[in-house]
Amino acid sequence: MFYEELREIRKRKGFTIREVADKSGVSTAYISQLENGQRGTPSPEILNKLSDGLESSYEELMKLAGYMEDDSNDKNNKKPVNLRRFIRDYPILLDGRLLTEQDVRWIDRMLTAMFSKED
């Protein structure tokens, strides 16, 4: 279950709940409730913050929470991702900085320009 896996990641990394809270900006009470199964699955935004606090992959937490399929066993069988939809629907980090809506719109325009060229 998600809450057990979350607790296991934290313990494996050697962090206290307080340390994760301080690094992520998510309250200790909320993290404790998550780890004890007293809260439902957190939103992708909270998972993004927790990934920073746990120094873990956002993708890993998204998979544990059931937002993404875990298809890491066979990279050749991965389903294609709609990049335009992905950048619009998920928070994007670049070098530790969360991209703004304006950044995402700019990237969207750049993708359109890049792939509308005639080869």
The helix (H) or strand (E) run that includes residue 78 is: none
Residue 117 has pLDDT above 60, yes or no: yes
pTM (global) more than 0.75: no
Report how far residue 59's alpha carbon sits from residue 108's, in angstroms, rounded to the nearest whole number. Answer: 21
Distances (CA, A) of 15 to 21, 74, 83: 10, 31, 34
**If pLDDT is split at 50, 70 and 90, which confidence band does 42 have?**
very high
Express each pLDDT in 84-108 by its tens digit.
888 888 888 877 788 899 999 999 8
Report how far residue 45's alpha carbon sits from residue 9's, in angstroms, rounded to the nearest whole number. Answer: 18
Query: Is residue 60 domain-shared with residue 7, that is, in the same domain?
Result: yes
pLDDT at residue number 92: 86
The DSSP code for 43 is P
| Among 22, 41, 64, residue at a domain's last position | 64
Report how far residue 118's alpha carbon sits from residue 115's, in angstroms, rounded to the nearest whole number. Answer: 8
Report how far residue 60's alpha carbon sits from residue 2's, in angstroms, rounded to the nearest whole number. Answer: 11
Query: Is residue 18 domain-shared with residue 53, that is, in the same domain?
Result: yes
Which domain range does residue 17 map to?
Answer: 2-64
Say which CATH number the domain at 50 has.
Answer: 1.10.260.40
Bridge partners, residue 94, by sequence: 97
